[in-house]
Amino acid sequence: MKFQIKKEDPHSSARTGSFTTAHGMINTPIFMPVGTRGTVKGIHQWELEGDLRAEIILGNTYHLYLRPGLEVIQQAGGLHPFMHWSLPILTDSGGYQVYSLADSRKITEEGVQFTSHIDGSKHTLTPESAINIQRIIGADIMMAFDECTPSECGYTYAKSAMELTHRWLKRCTTHFDQNPPLYGYPQYLFPIVQGSVYKDLRIQSATAIAEANQAGNAIGGVCHPTGQLYEVTGWVCDILPKHKPRYLMGVGTPKDILECIALGIDMFDCVMPARNGRNGYLFTTEGIIHIKNQQWRTDFSPIDVGLAHQASRYYSKAYLHHLLRVGERLGGQIATLHNLAFYRWLIEESRKHITTGTFRAWKDKMIPTIMRKI
């Protein structure tokens, strides 16, 4: 997988680029809609591929492993044909979900023993099994198994988790190299930088991850509310190789995306546009709207005329207010479509301004506008 840098912003570390997988080209910067269980909630695949122009989506190893299970996915020929999605897929390793099961998991050198949140059954994830699962899923981009630390953890724990992540990475790469893809097309492995909020650990981890010499690199453990997102991202981007894509996991708000593009990040994912949409929070070109508020009850103007997507222009704020207030599922679908369209617009505008060398000035002007509450 060759990452080609096309344009660099002269006033920041932002860049545009592209790389190609077996299922298509990915242009960067890129935002990946999250399809946790093989679906972006409430959205058809043809909507993602059509009007939303999604170039890649994310699937969740932990959830897909539990349901529908590996036997079903393998019989289908992988996740692509199972969910009828022809474009690239990235899967996480399951490490973050295991991290979130703090009360029902045990971490050892071998891997993680955990209890299913569905039926209480016992399971074990190891670096080797995480690779096997992602081989069966058939993801174009696979993540190495890591230990994700809490946002507020001590230095000793952060260091121990980072070192375990590095040891697991060696096992991941060995198993990845020894076990070829199942479906006849190449898959790529991204290791993950850890180290919490400690600069020396982040630098040490970024150095180790870069030395693994995989197709791209990811930064984990930064989506928690530590208040140090930009600082940590900057430390890591100074170390990770420029000629490979950098993926910031689980980020984030429109402001965070723009600021981290400026720091040199190429790939993002987050549940925020879909989750916020279902809860009535809309990102628009003029600011953030809580559409359930009474002020929108008789506002018959389009949701956002600044976006070209049909859902944003076809329906009124009053209609969406009504749907979400009465709990109609169409309301959540419209709001999700709109928010994903906004994120697509934000990314495409970023690419345009990087190309023309105006990204930093545009970003600084845009953030106060799109983050203000209307």
Q: Tokens 């969910």: give the residue.
A: 83
For 210, residues 6+ apart whose C-beta sits below 8 A from its C-beta are: 217, 239, 240, 241
Q: Tokens 């077996």: give the residue.
A: 22
Other Cβ atoms within 10 Å of 75 Cβ, number? 11
- In this prediction, residue 224 carries a pLDDT of 57
C-alpha 329: how far from chain center:
25
Count Cβ neighbours within 10 Å for each residue of 223-235 and write b for 16 or more, e otherwise.
Answer: bbeeebbeebbbb
pLDDT bucket at 257, cuts 50 / 70 / 90: very high
270 SS3 class? coil
- ∠ CA(66), CA(68), CA(69), 5° rounding? 55
53 φψ region: left (φ > 0), alpha (ψ -120 to 50), beta (else) = left
Cα–Cα distance for residue pair 327/27, rounded to 1 Å: 37
The answer to whether 236 and 206 are in contact (CB under 8 A) is: yes
pLDDT for 173-187, tens place per residue?
Answer: 999 999 999 999 999
Q: Tokens 């969406």: give the residue.
A: 320
- In this prediction, residue 105 carries a pLDDT of 87
The answer to whether 273 and 336 are in contact (CB under 8 A) is: yes
Show the tokens assigned to 60: 């969740």
pLDDT for 141-176, tens place per residue?
Answer: 999 999 988 777 899 999 999 999 999 999 999 999
- In this prediction, residue 94 carries a pLDDT of 82
The answer to whether 284 and 311 are in contact (CB under 8 A) is: no
- Please tell me the pTM assigned to this model: 0.97
Length of the chain: 374
The answer to whether 242 and 216 are in contact (CB under 8 A) is: no
pLDDT at 212 over 90: yes
Show the tokens assigned to 86: 């022809």
pLDDT at 311 over 90: yes
Cα–Cα distance for residue pair 119/99, rounded to 1 Å: 18
pLDDT for 34-46, tens place per residue?
Answer: 999 999 999 999 9
Query: What residues act catalytically?
Result: 92, 269
pLDDT at 226 over 60: no
Show the tokens assigned to 38: 């093989």
pLDDT at 14 over 70: yes
- In this prediction, residue 359 carries a pLDDT of 98
- In this prediction, residue 223 carries a pLDDT of 63
C-alpha 58: how far from chain center:
7
